[in-house]
Protein backbone atom coordinates (compact mmCIF):
# COMPACT_ATOMS: atom_id res chain seq x y z
CA UNK A 1 0.00 0.00 0.00
CA UNK A 2 1.37 3.50 -0.82
CA UNK A 3 1.11 6.42 1.63
CA UNK A 4 -1.70 8.04 -0.40
CA UNK A 5 -3.81 4.85 -0.70
CA UNK A 6 -7.10 5.04 1.22
CA UNK A 7 -6.82 3.91 4.88
CA UNK A 8 -7.73 0.30 5.71
CA UNK A 9 -11.12 -0.10 7.41
CA UNK A 10 -11.08 -1.70 10.87
CA UNK A 11 -10.74 -5.47 11.09
CA UNK A 12 -13.86 -7.61 11.44
CA UNK A 13 -14.37 -11.20 12.53
CA UNK A 14 -16.08 -12.07 9.26
CA UNK A 15 -16.10 -10.45 5.81
CA UNK A 16 -19.12 -11.41 3.67
CA UNK A 17 -18.99 -10.73 -0.07
CA UNK A 18 -22.57 -10.60 -1.38
CA UNK A 19 -25.51 -8.79 0.17
CA UNK A 20 -28.25 -10.60 -1.81
CA UNK A 21 -30.29 -12.92 0.44
CA UNK A 22 -27.87 -15.47 1.95
CA UNK A 23 -25.32 -12.74 2.86
CA UNK A 24 -27.67 -10.59 4.99
CA UNK A 25 -29.05 -13.68 6.76
CA UNK A 26 -25.52 -14.78 7.66
CA UNK A 27 -24.51 -11.29 8.81
CA UNK A 28 -27.48 -11.19 11.21
CA UNK A 29 -26.84 -14.74 12.45
CA UNK A 30 -23.17 -14.03 13.21
CA UNK A 31 -23.86 -10.64 14.81
CA UNK A 32 -26.35 -12.40 17.10
CA UNK A 33 -23.43 -14.58 18.23
CA UNK A 34 -21.39 -11.47 19.06
CA UNK A 35 -19.21 -11.40 15.94
CA UNK A 36 -18.37 -8.23 14.00
CA UNK A 37 -19.19 -8.46 10.31
CA UNK A 38 -18.64 -6.44 7.13
CA UNK A 39 -21.29 -7.14 4.48
CA UNK A 40 -20.19 -5.96 1.02
CA UNK A 41 -22.28 -5.77 -2.15
CA UNK A 42 -21.49 -4.24 -5.51
CA UNK A 43 -25.09 -3.09 -6.05
CA UNK A 44 -26.57 0.05 -4.55
CA UNK A 45 -29.50 -0.46 -2.12
CA UNK A 46 -32.40 -2.04 -4.02
CA UNK A 47 -34.75 -3.17 -1.24
CA UNK A 48 -38.41 -2.41 -1.81
CA UNK A 49 -37.99 -1.76 -5.54
CA UNK A 50 -40.55 -3.99 -7.30
CA UNK A 51 -38.68 -3.58 -10.60
CA UNK A 52 -35.44 -5.05 -9.25
CA UNK A 53 -36.35 -8.74 -8.92
CA UNK A 54 -39.62 -10.41 -9.85
CA UNK A 55 -39.12 -13.58 -7.84
CA UNK A 56 -41.21 -14.75 -4.95
CA UNK A 57 -39.84 -17.51 -2.77
CA UNK A 58 -41.41 -20.59 -1.27
CA UNK A 59 -39.74 -20.44 2.13
CA UNK A 60 -39.79 -23.77 3.91
CA UNK A 61 -40.87 -24.05 7.54
CA UNK A 62 -37.20 -24.46 8.60
CA UNK A 63 -36.28 -21.21 6.80
CA UNK A 64 -39.12 -19.41 8.55
CA UNK A 65 -37.73 -20.61 11.90
CA UNK A 66 -34.34 -19.15 10.97
CA UNK A 67 -35.90 -15.80 9.98
CA UNK A 68 -37.96 -15.78 13.19
CA UNK A 69 -34.83 -16.36 15.30
CA UNK A 70 -33.07 -13.53 13.46
CA UNK A 71 -35.96 -11.11 14.11
CA UNK A 72 -36.66 -10.78 10.37
CA UNK A 73 -39.90 -12.75 10.26
CA UNK A 74 -41.77 -10.27 12.49
CA UNK A 75 -41.24 -7.67 9.74
CA UNK A 76 -42.43 -10.04 7.01
CA UNK A 77 -45.26 -11.98 8.58
CA UNK A 78 -48.00 -9.68 7.23
CA UNK A 79 -46.68 -10.07 3.70
CA UNK A 80 -46.23 -13.86 3.82
CA UNK A 81 -48.83 -16.22 2.38
CA UNK A 82 -49.02 -19.64 4.10
CA UNK A 83 -48.84 -22.56 1.68
CA UNK A 84 -51.61 -24.85 2.85
CA UNK A 85 -51.61 -27.35 0.00
CA UNK A 86 -49.54 -28.26 -3.04
CA UNK A 87 -51.03 -29.93 -6.09
CA UNK A 88 -48.75 -31.53 -8.63
CA UNK A 89 -49.96 -32.82 -11.99
CA UNK A 90 -48.77 -33.73 -15.44
CA UNK A 91 -50.32 -31.55 -18.14
CA UNK A 92 -50.20 -30.27 -21.67
CA UNK A 93 -51.55 -26.96 -22.94
CA UNK A 94 -55.19 -27.28 -23.88
CA UNK A 95 -55.59 -30.61 -22.04
CA UNK A 96 -56.95 -31.24 -18.57
CA UNK A 97 -54.17 -32.15 -16.09
CA UNK A 98 -53.61 -35.90 -15.72
CA UNK A 99 -56.10 -37.48 -13.35
CA UNK A 100 -53.19 -39.17 -11.49
CA UNK A 101 -51.99 -36.21 -9.49
CA UNK A 102 -50.28 -35.67 -6.20
CA UNK A 103 -51.77 -33.47 -3.47
CA UNK A 104 -50.03 -32.41 -0.25
CA UNK A 105 -51.96 -30.90 2.61
CA UNK A 106 -50.23 -29.11 5.48
CA UNK A 107 -52.64 -30.69 7.97
CA UNK A 108 -50.74 -33.96 7.44
CA UNK A 109 -47.85 -32.72 9.61
CA UNK A 110 -48.31 -31.28 13.06
CA UNK A 111 -45.87 -28.35 12.69
CA UNK A 112 -48.29 -26.25 10.58
CA UNK A 113 -47.90 -24.79 7.07
CA UNK A 114 -45.00 -26.46 5.21
CA UNK A 115 -43.93 -23.08 3.94
CA UNK A 116 -44.80 -19.49 3.12
CA UNK A 117 -44.58 -17.50 -0.11
CA UNK A 118 -42.79 -14.16 0.19
CA UNK A 119 -41.98 -11.60 -2.48
CA UNK A 120 -38.34 -10.71 -3.05
CA UNK A 121 -38.95 -6.99 -2.44
CA UNK A 122 -40.48 -7.65 1.00
CA UNK A 123 -37.76 -10.10 2.02
CA UNK A 124 -34.97 -7.68 1.06
CA UNK A 125 -36.70 -4.78 2.84
CA UNK A 126 -37.05 -6.89 6.02
CA UNK A 127 -33.35 -7.85 5.89
CA UNK A 128 -32.32 -4.21 5.39
CA UNK A 129 -34.44 -3.00 8.32
CA UNK A 130 -32.93 -5.68 10.61
CA UNK A 131 -29.39 -4.89 9.42
CA UNK A 132 -29.92 -1.18 10.09
CA UNK A 133 -30.56 -2.02 13.75
CA UNK A 134 -27.51 -4.26 14.12
CA UNK A 135 -24.49 -2.30 15.33
CA UNK A 136 -22.07 -5.22 14.80
CA UNK A 137 -22.69 -5.26 11.02
CA UNK A 138 -21.09 -2.70 8.70
CA UNK A 139 -22.99 -2.69 5.39
CA UNK A 140 -21.09 -1.47 2.33
CA UNK A 141 -23.32 -1.18 -0.75
CA UNK A 142 -22.10 -0.06 -4.17
CA UNK A 143 -18.72 -1.61 -3.24
CA UNK A 144 -17.36 -4.36 -5.52
CA UNK A 145 -14.70 -6.74 -4.23
CA UNK A 146 -11.97 -7.13 -6.85
CA UNK A 147 -9.23 -9.03 -5.00
CA UNK A 148 -8.66 -11.16 -1.90
CA UNK A 149 -5.69 -12.59 -0.09
CA UNK A 150 -5.55 -15.22 2.64
CA UNK A 151 -2.67 -15.09 5.13
CA UNK A 152 -1.73 -17.26 8.12
CA UNK A 153 -3.87 -15.34 10.61
CA UNK A 154 -6.22 -13.14 8.57
CA UNK A 155 -7.77 -12.61 5.16
CA UNK A 156 -8.18 -9.34 3.30
CA UNK A 157 -10.25 -8.07 0.39
CA UNK A 158 -9.70 -5.11 -1.89
CA UNK A 159 -12.63 -3.01 -3.13
CA UNK A 160 -12.81 -1.44 -6.59
CA UNK A 161 -12.18 2.00 -5.04
CA UNK A 162 -8.92 0.76 -3.51
CA UNK A 163 -10.07 0.31 0.09
CA UNK A 164 -9.00 -2.83 1.97
CA UNK A 165 -10.84 -4.78 4.64
CA UNK A 166 -9.45 -7.42 6.96
CA UNK A 167 -11.10 -10.27 8.82
CA UNK A 168 -10.50 -13.74 10.27
CA UNK A 169 -12.67 -15.48 7.69
CA UNK A 170 -14.08 -14.56 4.29
CA UNK A 171 -17.50 -15.81 3.15
CA UNK A 172 -18.46 -15.89 -0.53
CA UNK A 173 -22.22 -15.23 -0.74
CA UNK A 174 -21.77 -13.68 -4.16
CA UNK A 175 -24.11 -15.85 -6.21
CA UNK A 176 -23.86 -18.33 -9.07
CA UNK A 177 -20.82 -16.72 -10.70
CA UNK A 178 -18.97 -16.29 -7.42
CA UNK A 179 -15.80 -14.28 -8.00
CA UNK A 180 -14.78 -15.15 -4.43
CA UNK A 181 -14.70 -18.84 -5.36
CA UNK A 182 -12.95 -18.14 -8.67
CA UNK A 183 -10.25 -15.99 -7.08
CA UNK A 184 -9.59 -18.79 -4.56
CA UNK A 185 -9.13 -21.25 -7.44
CA UNK A 186 -12.30 -23.25 -6.64
CA UNK A 187 -13.65 -24.83 -9.84
CA UNK A 188 -17.33 -25.44 -10.59
CA UNK A 189 -19.48 -28.10 -12.20
CA UNK A 190 -22.01 -26.17 -14.27
CA UNK A 191 -24.46 -26.87 -17.05
CA UNK A 192 -27.46 -25.12 -18.57
CA UNK A 193 -30.89 -26.63 -19.20
CA UNK A 194 -31.68 -24.70 -22.36
CA UNK A 195 -34.59 -23.41 -20.28
CA UNK A 196 -35.40 -19.93 -19.03
CA UNK A 197 -37.87 -19.14 -16.25
CA UNK A 198 -40.31 -16.35 -17.04
CA UNK A 199 -41.73 -15.01 -13.78
CA UNK A 200 -44.44 -12.50 -13.00
CA UNK A 201 -47.23 -11.86 -10.56
CA UNK A 202 -50.82 -12.26 -11.68
CA UNK A 203 -54.00 -11.02 -10.03
CA UNK A 204 -57.04 -13.31 -10.31
CA UNK A 205 -60.72 -13.17 -9.65
CA UNK A 206 -61.07 -16.17 -7.29
CA UNK A 207 -59.11 -16.95 -4.10
CA UNK A 208 -56.30 -19.51 -4.29
CA UNK A 209 -56.96 -20.73 -0.73
CA UNK A 210 -53.24 -21.07 -0.10
CA UNK A 211 -52.81 -23.78 -2.73
CA UNK A 212 -49.68 -23.98 -4.89
CA UNK A 213 -49.87 -25.74 -8.25
CA UNK A 214 -46.99 -27.37 -10.08
CA UNK A 215 -47.95 -28.38 -13.58
CA UNK A 216 -45.48 -30.38 -15.65
CA UNK A 217 -45.58 -29.34 -19.29
CA UNK A 218 -43.43 -30.99 -22.00
CA UNK A 219 -41.15 -27.93 -22.32
CA UNK A 220 -40.73 -27.39 -18.57
CA UNK A 221 -42.69 -26.90 -15.34
CA UNK A 222 -45.23 -24.15 -14.66
CA UNK A 223 -45.64 -23.19 -11.01
CA UNK A 224 -48.57 -21.12 -9.74
CA UNK A 225 -47.69 -20.01 -6.23
CA UNK A 226 -50.10 -18.23 -3.85
CA UNK A 227 -49.32 -14.69 -2.68
CA UNK A 228 -51.16 -12.43 -0.26
CA UNK A 229 -54.53 -11.33 -1.69
CA UNK A 230 -56.01 -12.76 -4.87
CA UNK A 231 -52.56 -12.91 -6.46
CA UNK A 232 -50.15 -15.64 -7.50
CA UNK A 233 -46.54 -15.77 -8.59
CA UNK A 234 -45.92 -17.58 -11.88
CA UNK A 235 -42.68 -19.41 -12.64
CA UNK A 236 -43.02 -20.60 -16.23
CA UNK A 237 -39.96 -22.58 -17.35
CA UNK A 238 -39.79 -22.78 -21.12
CA UNK A 239 -37.19 -23.60 -23.74
CA UNK A 240 -34.89 -20.55 -24.18
CA UNK A 241 -36.25 -19.51 -27.58
CA UNK A 242 -39.86 -19.70 -26.49
CA UNK A 243 -39.11 -17.82 -23.26
CA UNK A 244 -37.44 -15.07 -25.29
CA UNK A 245 -40.55 -14.85 -27.47
CA UNK A 246 -42.79 -14.73 -24.37
CA UNK A 247 -40.73 -11.85 -22.98
CA UNK A 248 -41.09 -9.94 -26.27
CA UNK A 249 -44.92 -10.09 -26.20
CA UNK A 250 -47.09 -7.22 -25.03
CA UNK A 251 -48.82 -7.78 -21.67
CA UNK A 252 -52.11 -8.65 -23.39
CA UNK A 253 -50.42 -11.08 -25.82
CA UNK A 254 -48.57 -12.68 -22.90
CA UNK A 255 -51.82 -13.23 -21.01
CA UNK A 256 -53.33 -14.79 -24.12
CA UNK A 257 -50.40 -17.24 -24.22
CA UNK A 258 -50.62 -17.94 -20.47
CA UNK A 259 -54.37 -18.54 -20.18
CA UNK A 260 -54.51 -21.96 -21.92
CA UNK A 261 -51.69 -23.35 -19.74
CA UNK A 262 -52.86 -21.67 -16.53
CA UNK A 263 -56.47 -22.76 -16.95
CA UNK A 264 -59.59 -20.96 -15.79
CA UNK A 265 -59.91 -22.27 -12.22
CA UNK A 266 -58.98 -18.89 -10.66
CA UNK A 267 -61.23 -16.87 -12.97
CA UNK A 268 -60.16 -13.75 -14.86
CA UNK A 269 -56.39 -13.08 -14.92
CA UNK A 270 -54.43 -9.82 -15.17
CA UNK A 271 -50.74 -8.95 -14.75
CA UNK A 272 -49.71 -7.33 -11.48
CA UNK A 273 -46.27 -5.94 -12.31
CA UNK A 274 -43.52 -6.53 -14.87
CA UNK A 275 -42.21 -9.82 -16.27
CA UNK A 276 -38.68 -11.05 -15.52
CA UNK A 277 -36.62 -13.87 -16.99
CA UNK A 278 -33.89 -16.06 -15.45
CA UNK A 279 -31.79 -18.52 -17.49
CA UNK A 280 -31.78 -21.87 -15.69
CA UNK A 281 -28.81 -24.08 -14.95
CA UNK A 282 -27.06 -26.08 -12.30
CA UNK A 283 -23.81 -24.93 -10.75
CA UNK A 284 -21.97 -26.65 -7.93
CA UNK A 285 -18.67 -25.45 -6.46
CA UNK A 286 -16.13 -28.30 -6.37
CA UNK A 287 -15.31 -27.34 -2.79
CA UNK A 288 -17.28 -25.21 -0.32
CA UNK A 289 -14.11 -24.06 1.47
CA UNK A 290 -10.55 -22.89 0.87
CA UNK A 291 -7.91 -21.09 2.98
CA UNK A 292 -9.92 -18.82 5.38
CA UNK A 293 -12.87 -19.03 2.98
CA UNK A 294 -16.35 -20.58 3.03
CA UNK A 295 -19.03 -20.41 0.33
CA UNK A 296 -22.77 -20.16 1.07
CA UNK A 297 -25.96 -19.92 -1.02
CA UNK A 298 -25.84 -19.88 -4.80
CA UNK A 299 -22.07 -19.28 -4.67
CA UNK A 300 -21.85 -22.87 -3.39
CA UNK A 301 -24.82 -24.37 -5.30
CA UNK A 302 -27.27 -22.93 -7.83
CA UNK A 303 -30.10 -25.25 -8.80
CA UNK A 304 -33.26 -25.49 -10.91
CA UNK A 305 -36.21 -23.75 -9.18
CA UNK A 306 -38.46 -26.77 -9.90
CA UNK A 307 -38.70 -27.71 -6.22
CA UNK A 308 -38.31 -24.14 -4.83
CA UNK A 309 -35.29 -25.22 -2.77
CA UNK A 310 -32.38 -22.94 -3.83
CA UNK A 311 -32.73 -20.23 -1.22
CA UNK A 312 -33.86 -22.72 1.42
CA UNK A 313 -30.62 -24.65 0.89
CA UNK A 314 -28.66 -21.38 1.06
CA UNK A 315 -30.31 -20.47 4.36
CA UNK A 316 -29.43 -23.90 5.70
CA UNK A 317 -25.77 -23.20 4.80
CA UNK A 318 -26.08 -19.93 6.70
CA UNK A 319 -27.49 -21.60 9.82
CA UNK A 320 -24.89 -24.40 9.70
CA UNK A 321 -21.96 -21.99 9.23
CA UNK A 322 -23.25 -19.78 12.07
CA UNK A 323 -23.36 -22.84 14.37
CA UNK A 324 -19.85 -23.96 13.39
CA UNK A 325 -18.26 -20.50 13.79
CA UNK A 326 -20.07 -19.74 17.06
CA UNK A 327 -18.99 -23.07 18.57
CA UNK A 328 -15.40 -22.59 17.42
CA UNK A 329 -15.31 -19.11 18.91
CA UNK A 330 -16.72 -20.33 22.22
CA UNK A 331 -13.94 -22.96 22.35
CA UNK A 332 -11.27 -20.36 21.60
CA UNK A 333 -10.43 -21.80 18.16
CA UNK A 334 -9.33 -19.68 15.17
CA UNK A 335 -12.68 -19.28 13.32
CA UNK A 336 -10.89 -19.11 9.96
CA UNK A 337 -8.77 -22.19 10.67
CA UNK A 338 -8.94 -25.23 8.38
CA UNK A 339 -10.36 -27.68 10.98
CA UNK A 340 -13.28 -25.29 11.67
CA UNK A 341 -14.14 -24.65 8.02
CA UNK A 342 -13.79 -28.35 7.31
CA UNK A 343 -16.60 -29.05 9.80
CA UNK A 344 -18.86 -26.71 7.81
CA UNK A 345 -17.99 -28.34 4.47
CA UNK A 346 -18.61 -31.84 5.88
CA UNK A 347 -22.00 -30.74 7.19
CA UNK A 348 -23.27 -29.12 4.00
CA UNK A 349 -21.49 -30.38 0.91
CA UNK A 350 -23.03 -33.84 0.57
CA UNK A 351 -26.59 -32.65 1.32
CA UNK A 352 -26.54 -29.80 -1.17
CA UNK A 353 -24.86 -31.80 -3.93
CA UNK A 354 -27.56 -34.47 -3.50
CA UNK A 355 -30.34 -31.86 -3.56
CA UNK A 356 -28.94 -30.06 -6.63
CA UNK A 357 -28.62 -33.34 -8.52
CA UNK A 358 -32.10 -34.45 -7.42
CA UNK A 359 -33.64 -31.23 -8.83
CA UNK A 360 -31.64 -31.87 -12.01
CA UNK A 361 -33.05 -35.39 -12.37
CA UNK A 362 -36.55 -34.22 -11.48
CA UNK A 363 -36.46 -31.54 -14.18
CA UNK A 364 -35.18 -34.01 -16.79
CA UNK A 365 -37.85 -36.54 -15.88
CA UNK A 366 -40.70 -34.05 -16.09
CA UNK A 367 -39.56 -31.78 -18.97
CA UNK A 368 -40.01 -34.62 -21.39
CA UNK A 369 -42.92 -35.63 -23.59
CA UNK A 370 -41.97 -39.28 -24.14
CA UNK A 371 -45.10 -41.42 -23.70
CA UNK A 372 -43.52 -44.22 -21.60
CA UNK A 373 -41.94 -41.60 -19.30
CA UNK A 374 -45.27 -39.80 -18.95
CA UNK A 375 -47.00 -43.03 -17.96
CA UNK A 376 -44.23 -43.95 -15.49
CA UNK A 377 -44.22 -40.56 -13.75
CA UNK A 378 -48.03 -40.36 -13.63
CA UNK A 379 -48.07 -43.77 -11.97
CA UNK A 380 -45.34 -42.56 -9.57
CA UNK A 381 -47.34 -39.45 -8.63
CA UNK A 382 -50.48 -41.55 -8.22
CA UNK A 383 -48.63 -44.05 -6.03
CA UNK A 384 -47.18 -41.42 -3.68
CA UNK A 385 -50.64 -39.86 -3.46
CA UNK A 386 -52.13 -43.13 -2.27
CA UNK A 387 -49.50 -43.79 0.41
CA UNK A 388 -49.96 -41.39 3.36
CA UNK A 389 -46.59 -42.19 5.07
CA UNK A 390 -44.72 -41.50 1.83
CA UNK A 391 -46.73 -38.33 1.31
CA UNK A 392 -45.92 -37.17 4.84
CA UNK A 393 -42.23 -37.89 4.22
CA UNK A 394 -42.35 -35.64 1.13
CA UNK A 395 -44.02 -32.84 3.10
CA UNK A 396 -41.42 -33.05 5.90
CA UNK A 397 -38.66 -32.92 3.27
CA UNK A 398 -40.26 -29.89 1.55
CA UNK A 399 -40.66 -28.19 4.94
CA UNK A 400 -36.90 -28.66 5.51
CA UNK A 401 -37.46 -30.68 8.69
CA UNK A 402 -35.29 -33.69 7.84
CA UNK A 403 -31.59 -34.33 8.47
CA UNK A 404 -29.21 -32.66 10.91
CA UNK A 405 -30.94 -29.31 11.60
CA UNK A 406 -28.75 -26.35 12.65
CA UNK A 407 -29.84 -24.68 15.91
CA UNK A 408 -31.37 -21.60 14.22
CA UNK A 409 -33.77 -23.93 12.33
CA UNK A 410 -34.90 -26.04 15.27
C1 LIG B 1 -37.24 -18.18 -11.11
C2 LIG B 1 -36.65 -18.57 -9.79
C3 LIG B 1 -37.48 -18.91 -8.74
C4 LIG B 1 -36.93 -19.30 -7.51
N5 LIG B 1 -37.78 -19.67 -6.52
C6 LIG B 1 -37.26 -20.11 -5.34
C7 LIG B 1 -38.13 -20.56 -4.29
O8 LIG B 1 -39.36 -20.57 -4.42
N9 LIG B 1 -37.55 -20.99 -3.13
C10 LIG B 1 -36.20 -21.02 -2.96
O11 LIG B 1 -35.74 -21.45 -1.89
N12 LIG B 1 -35.37 -20.59 -3.93
C13 LIG B 1 -35.86 -20.15 -5.12
N14 LIG B 1 -35.01 -19.72 -6.10
C15 LIG B 1 -33.55 -19.69 -5.84
C16 LIG B 1 -33.15 -18.36 -5.17
O17 LIG B 1 -33.61 -17.30 -5.94
C18 LIG B 1 -31.63 -18.28 -5.03
O19 LIG B 1 -31.15 -19.46 -4.42
C20 LIG B 1 -31.23 -17.07 -4.18
O21 LIG B 1 -31.71 -15.88 -4.75
C22 LIG B 1 -29.70 -16.99 -4.04
O23 LIG B 1 -29.35 -15.98 -3.12
P24 LIG B 1 -27.82 -15.64 -2.80
O25 LIG B 1 -27.86 -14.59 -1.76
O26 LIG B 1 -27.06 -16.90 -2.54
O27 LIG B 1 -27.24 -15.09 -4.17
P28 LIG B 1 -27.63 -13.76 -4.98
O29 LIG B 1 -29.04 -13.37 -4.70
O30 LIG B 1 -27.23 -14.04 -6.40
O31 LIG B 1 -26.71 -12.61 -4.37
C32 LIG B 1 -25.38 -12.46 -4.71
C33 LIG B 1 -24.97 -11.01 -4.40
O34 LIG B 1 -23.55 -10.90 -4.52
C35 LIG B 1 -23.27 -9.63 -5.05
N36 LIG B 1 -21.92 -9.68 -5.66
C37 LIG B 1 -21.51 -10.45 -6.70
N38 LIG B 1 -20.22 -10.22 -6.97
C39 LIG B 1 -19.77 -9.29 -6.07
C40 LIG B 1 -18.53 -8.64 -5.84
N41 LIG B 1 -17.45 -8.90 -6.58
N42 LIG B 1 -18.45 -7.73 -4.85
C43 LIG B 1 -19.53 -7.46 -4.08
N44 LIG B 1 -20.73 -8.04 -4.26
C45 LIG B 1 -20.86 -8.95 -5.23
C46 LIG B 1 -24.38 -9.38 -6.06
O47 LIG B 1 -24.55 -7.99 -6.31
C48 LIG B 1 -25.60 -10.00 -5.36
O49 LIG B 1 -26.33 -9.05 -4.62
C50 LIG B 1 -35.53 -19.34 -7.34
C51 LIG B 1 -34.69 -19.00 -8.40
C52 LIG B 1 -35.24 -18.62 -9.63
C53 LIG B 1 -34.33 -18.27 -10.77
Quote the ligand 1 centre to 176 CA distance (angstroms).
7
Quote the ligand 1 centre to 20 CA distance (angstroms).
6
Quote the ligand 1 centre to 175 CA distance (angstroms).
5
Q: Assess contact for 100 and 384: CB atoms under 8 A.
A: no
Residue 237 maps to a domain: no
Residue 393 maps to a domain: no
Mean pLDDT across 373-393: 72
| CATH (domain of 178) | 3.50.50.60
Kindly give the number of the ligand 1 atom that is closest to the alpha carbon of 174: 34
- Asked whether the predicted pLDDT for residue 44 surpasses 50, the reply is yes
Determine the Cα angle at 47 with ends 43 and 53, to 5°.
Answer: 80
Kindly give the number of the ligand 1 atom that is closest to the alpha carbon of 40: 43
The pLDDT score that the predictor gives to residue 5 is 56
Residue 391 maps to a domain: no
Quote the ligand 1 centre to 215 CA distance (angstroms).
24
Mean pLDDT across 386-407: 81
Residues β-bridged to residue 82: 116
Quote the ligand 1 centre to 287 CA distance (angstroms).
19
Determine the Cα angle at 162 with ends 157 and 166, to 5°.
Answer: 30
Give 95's pLDDT tier (boundaries 50, 70, 90): low
Mean pLDDT across 198-217: 93
Quote the ligand 1 centre to 174 CA distance (angstroms).
8
Kindly give the number of the ligand 1 atom that is closest to the alpha carbon of 144: 42
Q: How many structural domains comprise the chain? A: 1
Quote the ligand 1 centre to 206 CA distance (angstroms).
32
Residue 1 maps to a domain: no
Quick one: what percent of the chain has pLDDT higher than 90? 69
- Asked whether the predicted pLDDT for residue 280 surpasses 80, the reply is yes
The pLDDT score that the predictor gives to residue 97 is 52
Closest residue to atom 48 of ligand 1, CA basis: 20
What tens digit of pLDDT does each residue of 244-278 get?
999 999 999 999 999 988 888 899 999 999 999 99
Closest residue to atom 11 of ligand 1, CA basis: 311
Gap between the Cα atoms of 121 and 270, Å rounded: 20
The pLDDT score that the predictor gives to residue 3 is 45
- Ligand 1, from 41, 72, 127, 224: best to mutate by most atoms within 8 Å of Cβ? 41
- Ligand 1, from 138, 173, 174: best to mutate by most atoms within 8 Å of Cβ? 174
CA–CA distances in Å: residue 203 to residues 55, 72, 207, 235: 15, 27, 10, 14
What tens digit of pLDDT does each residue of 347-377 get?
999 888 888 888 888 777 777 777 777 777 7
Residue 30 maps to a domain: yes
Gap between the Cα atoms of 103 and 57, Å rounded: 20
Enumerate residues lining ligand 1, CB below 6 A: 17-23, 40-43, 55, 57-58, 144-145, 173-175, 179, 197, 199, 235, 278, 297-298, 305, 308-312, 314
Nearest Cα residue to 181 out of 168, 190, 167, 171: 171
Quote the ligand 1 centre to 67 CA distance (angstroms).
17
More confident call, 392 vs 342: 342
Residue 114 maps to a domain: no
The pLDDT score that the predictor gives to residue 148 is 98
**Which helix H or strand E contains 323, and what residues bound it?**
helix 310-330
| Residue count (the chain) | 410
Quote the ligand 1 centre to 311 CA distance (angstroms).
7
- Asked whether the predicted pLDDT for residue 54 surpasses 60, the reply is yes
Least confident of 99-108, 130-139, 193-202, 313-322: 99-108
Residue 249 maps to a domain: no
Closest residue to atom 41 of ligand 1, CA basis: 145
Quote the ligand 1 centre to 134 CA distance (angstroms).
22
Nearest Cα residue to 26 out of 410, 315, 345: 315
The pLDDT score that the predictor gives to residue 98 is 58
The pLDDT score that the predictor gives to residue 47 is 64
Strand order of the sheet with strand 115-119? Answer: 56-60, 115-119, 81-83
Give 99's pLDDT tier (boundaries 50, 70, 90): low
The pLDDT score that the predictor gives to residue 233 is 97
Give 320's pLDDT tier (boundaries 50, 70, 90): very high
Residue 387 maps to a domain: no
What's the maximum distance between 2 C-alpha atoms anywhere in the chain?
74
- Asked whether the predicted pLDDT for residue 406 surpasses 80, the reply is yes
Domain extent for 330: 12-75+119-190+281-381+404-409
Closest residue to atom 1 of ligand 1, CA basis: 197
Amino acid sequence: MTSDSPPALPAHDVLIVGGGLAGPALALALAREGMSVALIDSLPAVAGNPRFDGRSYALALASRRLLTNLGVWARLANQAQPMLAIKVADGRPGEAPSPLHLAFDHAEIEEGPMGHMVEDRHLRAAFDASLAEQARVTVLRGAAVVAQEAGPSSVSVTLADGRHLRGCVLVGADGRESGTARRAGIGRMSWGYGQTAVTCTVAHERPHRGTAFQLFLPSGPLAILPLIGNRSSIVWSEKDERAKALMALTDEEFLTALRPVFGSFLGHLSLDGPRFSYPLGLTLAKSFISARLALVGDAAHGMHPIAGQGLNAGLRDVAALADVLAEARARGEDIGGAPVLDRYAKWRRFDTATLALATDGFNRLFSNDSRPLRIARDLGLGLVNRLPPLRRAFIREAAGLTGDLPSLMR
